[in-house]
């Protein structure tokens, strides 16, 4: 159960990112949330798979720490961002350069920030 907490925190933060984005553009938050969130949710899942694979290759599969900024947080962030943008592009959703910059910044703040805060408090 404790291992799933970082995954759940990341999922909530990705959904929050999508909610904030929809709200800032005066779009229907609930009605369109799934359309906005699914590319980033899949990217997040891929990021966790990659992070766990890296931990496994390093001999830490049984004791991977989801609260690490490096490598877990960085891998999860990059896969969420890149996977989300790629899936948005192939599904016909917009990926304007300014959106990529904003998404990269906000997702970094969210997905790396809570991990850095946990580390700073310990």
2: pLDDT confidence band, cut at 50, 70 and 90?
confident
Q: With 0.75 as the threshold, say if the pTM is over it.
A: yes
Computed over every residue of the chain, the mean pLDDT equals 93
Q: What is the four-CA torsion angle of 60, 66, 70, 75, rounded to 10 degrees?
A: 100
pLDDT digits (tens, 9 = 90+) for 83-112: 999 999 999 999 999 999 999 999 999 999
Choose among 7, 83, 71: nearest CA to 42.
Answer: 83
């Amino acid at each position: 159960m404790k291992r799933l907490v970082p995954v759940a925190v990341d999922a909530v933060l990705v959904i929050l990112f999508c909610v904030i984005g929809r709200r800032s553009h005066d779009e229907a938050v609930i009605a369109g949330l799934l359309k906005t969130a699914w590319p980033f949710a899949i990217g997040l899942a891929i990021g966790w798979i990659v992070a766990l694979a890296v931990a496994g290759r390093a001999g830490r599969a049984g004791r991977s720490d989801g609260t690490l900024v490096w490598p877990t947080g960085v891998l999860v962030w990059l896969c969420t961002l890149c996977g989300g943008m790629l899936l948005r592009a192939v599904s016909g959703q917009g990926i304007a350069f300014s959106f990529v910059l904003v998404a990269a910044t906000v997702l970094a703040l969210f997905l790396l920030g809570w991990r850095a805060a946990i580390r700073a408090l310990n």
